[in-house]
Amino acid sequence: MGLPVVGDDQDLVRSRTPCEAIIARLESSIADFNVERQTLLSQIAACARGLQPVHALRRKLLTVTAQANDLQQALTKANRDLATKRQHALIQANEMDKCTSPTHRLAKETRVTVRMNHALPSAWTISAEGENNPQQATDREAAASCGRSDTDSRSQGHEMHIANQLQELKALVQQMEGTEKALCQATRSCIQAQQARDAASLQAAELSSRLQREEERHQKAQREYEHEMAALRAALFKQNTEHEQALLDAARSNAADLAAQARRGGQASRSLEAALGEARRRNAALEEELAVLKQRRAADVEGWTHDITAHRKRLAALEGALRQASVLERMADDERRDAVLAKHDRLVRQQHAAASGRRRPARSTQEAHAIRAGLLQMAEDLQARLSRMRSGET
């Protein structure tokens, strides 16, 4: 966090304006606060990463608890099915008992029938005896035949009833065997479900203990984190208080400096305004003098230009007169001299017209070449005459 301004910071503050120094200190304080904020966020993220195994164990415990509940429901359902099947088995056992009593009765009747079959030889003996006594034999034979027919019909009915009872008994035995198998399977499933429930209970107990340990460790870490956060908050509050006090002191001193600078600035502005008014007055006077000087200079320049133009005209006239005199001295009085003088006069007039600003039509190129050739010829003639004159003088 920021601290009171000392040492190099004071030099930096002196090199800047007060507002810039305050802004710089505030920016540095904000940067330090952002760094501490990032540190706190990283610590919170580390605590959250430490809680991830606890949450995973809780989710696993919930899953195992749901599985244990499912197994408990399956075991309850199996117990209900087992009780239902036991009830059916008891009902079938009662039915078997009920079927067993007619079977015993049929067996007794069968034994009676067998005894009657053993009594047949005595009947035959009686029939043999009846041969001697026909009437008695006939009566006995009719009685014996009636007894045999009744016995045969009764024995057939008993046999059919016994066969039906045996089939029902076989069906009941098969149903009993299926019920016993289903009962064994249900018992086995119940035992397996109980074992799975016990294993799930053990696993749930282990997970509960692990979860309790993780919660204790998490609570310990939470307490340590809260203690560190409290210490850090206290330190931050203290640093912020000190920094705020330092900023307030610096702001008060800067406000005093600003007030002094404002007073000095007001005095300087008033003096500058006075100097500016004086400078404006002097500038107005100088501008008036400059306007007068410009007018005088323009008049002088115009006079000088007129004088120079007149002098140039005089010089041109003198040069033409001198040139003409020199030419006249060196040339003989003939037609050629007159032509050269006429051309010279034309050239002088053209020069005067150009100097005075009058525009004349330009000569053709052939005429210019002709004049140039004539002048060259005149120069050569003059050179030859001068050579002859020098040779004659010698």
CB atoms within 10 A of CB 36: 15
Q: DSSP letter for 2, please.
A: -
What pLDDT, in 10s, does the model give residues 282-300?
A: 888 888 888 888 888 788 7
- Tell me how far apart the alpha carbons of residues 232 and 255 are, in angstroms, rounded to a whole number: 33
Q: What are the chain's domains?
A: 8-264 (1.10.287), 319-358+365-393 (no CATH)
What pLDDT, in 10s, does the model give residues 60-88?
A: 777 777 776 777 777 677 667 767 766 77
- Tell me how far apart the alpha carbons of residues 41 and 357 are, in angstroms, rounded to a whole number: 94
- Tell me how far apart the alpha carbons of residues 24 and 87 are, in angstroms, rounded to a whole number: 93
pLDDT score of 113? 60
- Tell me how far apart the alpha carbons of residues 72 and 193 are, in angstroms, rounded to a whole number: 8
pLDDT score of 271? 84
- Tell me how far apart the alpha carbons of residues 350 and 308 are, in angstroms, rounded to a whole number: 19
Contact 57, 207 (CB under 8 A): yes
82-112 per-residue burial string, b: 16 or more CB within 10 A, e: under 16: beebeeebeeeeeebeeeeeebeebeebeee
At a CB cut-off of 8 Å and minimum separation 6, what does 344 contact?
320, 323, 324, 327
pLDDT score of 5? 41
pLDDT score of 362? 42
Give the CB-side neighbour count of residue 255, counting CA atoms within 13 A: 6
Instruction: Enumerate residue ranges in the chain where pLDDT < 50.
Output: 1-16, 358-365
pLDDT score of 236? 78
pLDDT score of 1? 40
Threshold 0.75, pTM exceeds: no
Contact 2, 28 (CB under 8 A): yes
Q: Where are the alpha helices (DSSP H) in the chain?
A: 8-15, 18-118, 120-132, 134-330, 335-355, 365-393
